Amino acid sequence: MTDAKKLFIKTYGCQMNVYDSERMAETLGVQGYVQTQIADDADMILLNTCHIREKAAEKIYSELGKFRSLKDAKPNLKIGVAGCVAQAEGAEIIRRQPMVDLVVGPQSYHKLPQMEAQVQAGYRALDTDFPEEDKFDHLAKRPKAKRGPTAFLTVQEGCDKFCAFCVVPYTRGAEVSRSSERVLAEAADLVERGVSELTLLGQNVNAYHGHPGGLAGLIWQLSEIKDLKRIRFTTSHPNDMDDALIEAHRTCEKLMPYLHLPVQSGSNKVLKAMNRKHTRESYFSIVDQIRTARPDLLLSGDFIVGFPGETDADFEDTLDLVRQVGYGQAYSFKYSARPGTPAAEKGEVDPKVAIERLHILQALLLKQQYAAQASMVGRDVKVLFEKKGRKEGQLIGKSEYLHAVHAFAPGDMLGQVVPIRIIKDMTNSLTGELL
């Protein structure tokens, strides 16, 4: 018997890519590949890429450069590029990077088996189509192996919002929801294999319409799976936070009190130029409604500074919004012009000014994040233990609010949701004790 072929996958970017990489590994597993963590050992290297900002995309080309000598030493090594850079620049990658054997866009992963065969036969394979069918239905099933306590589950892909800065509507295509039957079947299977917490993924997840009751309807139905203990979802658009979803935050015990609700800017002028289709006032109003429904909710957000035309006064509006809303966690980025997006045509803010603004915003967001974490000390939370800690007898997991918590606890509590009192703030995590 010949040895199994080895697959090394490197994942960049968002959680959806993490999920996609898992599914690609499973599909190639059916083709006889086992995963390796060591690139040097691999028969196939697959880079699952991100195109959201210039830096992310550039990384791929420098990464490919690093694999060149490996390919020279091992001519049978196959190199593939998947994900959003593949979608956006696929043909160019094939033209410019002779070392790349396979380029597959995010909507074509179910074609991987044929493409792999093509590559093994000595050809190069490129597929960046947007087929009609649900690719996940055509991907080989997850093997019945036991799983850790948390899992991602993609329920929606693509986006119809067309924010002026964003490549997602082009790389991931129009908004598509998977049917709730398929999602429920996959969720039930994951739970059977040990998953207690599901994070439902979508680029605009709360626009989900694969269930007559929308995302809220799906959440309620998932909550009926007995051994599923926790449900989360990400990423949301403020305009799609409908009443049913807000109500679910009030009454669905399995839905965690954490919400990632990007606003991008606090200036109405910039929001308009970004084509966000909401105002700072409408954002405040939604946040108010959600917090009324779920007062302990921890809010997270995304921000872009230095969007074309952003003045000091606009940036002040962003700082003011952050002060008023109060975030427990946030991501902030310097605007990066992406080819093909409407904003890329506009004149850019001086990069020095943009960096300065980014530092100011990040300092404020970090202060809020630390304050939110420090405020947990003395509170009782529920922790889903995910793995062993560094110290003997210690377990690490996440609270309802996604704070990392470690505590001394018996090993059989792994995978369980356990009441914990927070006793100390350790900056990057919280220390707790069993109640």
Q: Which parts of this chain interact with ligand 5AD (CB under 6 A)?
A: 52-53, 165-166, 262, 264, 302, 304, 333, 335-336, 338
* Contact yes or no for 80/72 (Cβ under 8 A): no
Integer Cα distance of 312 and 137 in angstroms = 49
CB 347 to ligand SF4: min, Å: 21
211 sits near ligand SF4 (criterion: CB under 6 A): no
For 145, counting Cβ atoms within 10 Å of its Cβ (0-12 exposed, 13-18 middle, 19+ buried), the class is exposed
Q: Work out which of 150, 203, 267, 329 binds ligand SF4, going by CB under 6 A.
A: 203
Least distance from ligand 5AD to the Cβ atom of residue 143, Å: 31
* Bridge partners, residue 384, by sequence: 398, 417
Q: How far is the CB of 165 from ligand 5AD (least distance, A)?
A: 4
d(CA 273, CA 254): 38
**Rounded Cα distance, 342 and 338, in Å:** 9
Is residue 406 involved in binding ligand SF4 (CB under 6 A)? no
* Residue 169 contact partner, candidates ligand 5AD, ligand SF4, none, CB within 5 to 8 A by sort of partner: ligand SF4
- Candidates 149, 51, 50, 62; CA nearest to 97 is 62
Residues of 227-261 as b/e, b for ≥16 C-beta within 10 angstroms?
ebbbbbbbbbbbbbbbeebbebbeebebbbbbbbb
Measured CA to CA, the distance from residue 339 to residue 299 in angstroms comes to 31
Shortest distance (Å) from residue 404 CB to ligand SF4: 26
Judged by beta carbon, residue 49 or residue 264, the one nearer ligand 5AD is 264
Residue 59 or 421: the one with the smaller Cβ distance to ligand 5AD is 59
The yes or no reply on residue 168 touching ligand SF4 (CB under 6 A) is yes
Q: Is 169 a binder of ligand SF4 (CB under 6 A)? A: yes
Sign of CA dihedral 248, 259, 154, 163: positive
Q: Is residue 161 at the binding interface for ligand SF4, with CB under 6 A as the rule? A: yes
Q: Shortest Cβ distance from residue 206 to ligand SF4 (Å)?
A: 10
Which residue of this chain has its Cβ atom nearest to ligand 5AD in the complex?
302
- Give phi and psi for 425, each to the nearest 5: -100, 120
88 binds, among ligand 5AD, ligand SF4, none (CB under 5 to 8 A by kind): none
Of the pair 48, 196, the CB lying nearest ligand 5AD is at 48
Q: Report the partner that residue 171 touches, choosing among ligand 5AD, ligand SF4, none (CB closer than 5 to 8 A by kind).
A: none
How far apart CA 59 and CA 84 sit, in angstroms, is 13
Which of the listed partners (ligand SF4, ligand 5AD, none) does 53 bind, with a CB threshold of 5 to 8 Å by partner kind? ligand 5AD
Inter-residue contact 31 to 18 (CB < 8 Å): no
- Shortest distance, position 288 Cβ to ligand 5AD, whole Å: 21
